[in-house]
Amino acid sequence: MGTVTPSPWKQLLLSAIESNSHLKHSYFVQFATIGSNGRPSNRSVVFRGFEENSDRIQISTDFRTRKIEELNHCPFAEICWYFTDSWEQFRINGRVDVIDGSNPNPAKLQQREKLWLASSIKSRLQYLGPNPGLPCLSEQSPDEFFLDPSSGPVATFCLLVLEPDQVQPYTILN
């Protein structure tokens, strides 16, 4: 198989990620969905890379968060990715595939496991807490939960895969 050239927007995005990579917060993107009350719903999530050899964007989330229910009602989302150092913005709209442990597709389950094992232990521990959506508090000792580093994803760990079909990249006035 030959090498696939990334789409023009993906090339621009990869270049923006590269030039802002010294800022840890550059991997935070705002992910909008439609709330079950019909209103817009918007929160920060972490970009977890592209699916291999594709334009599809991976995000991990807790199955107990409101966005899962929202995506079950309306499977579309728009990511607004704003880079604070280069003043670039990417709006990425597409359909989202929600992949939890009950997914019937073995390839998707494998991808979910791969992302789990690639996550830090600190990040994995978030999925064991009693409150989805709320981060581990720093005063909470990680020893409260036991986690075997080699074991697969817990039930609350969910992979979201956004398949972009409308992308607008541009530079904001500085």
Q: In the complex, what is the shortest distance from the CB of residue 140 to a second copy, in angstroms, rounded to a whole number?
A: 11
- Binding to a second copy (CB under 8 A) within 127-146 occurs at 134-136, 138
Q: Indicate whether 121 belongs to the interface with a second copy (CB under 8 A).
A: no
Q: How far is CA 174 from CA 50, 83, 84, 162, in A?
A: 29, 12, 10, 29
Q: Which of 23, 64, 45, 13 is nearest to 123 (CA)?
A: 45
According to CB under 8 A, which one of 68, 80, 98, 128 is a site residue for a second copy?
Answer: 80
Nearer CB in complex with a second copy: 117/134 = 134
Q: Compute the C-alpha angle 152/156/160, nearest 5°.
A: 90
Distance (Å, whole) CA 139 – CA 73: 36
According to CB under 8 A, which one of 3, 5, 44, 102 is a site residue for a second copy?
Answer: 44
Distance (Å, whole) CA 30 – CA 41: 10
- Interface residues toward a second copy, by CB under 8 A: 23, 25, 28, 30-35, 38-44, 74, 76-80, 82, 84, 87, 89, 91, 93, 122-123, 126, 134-136, 138, 170-174
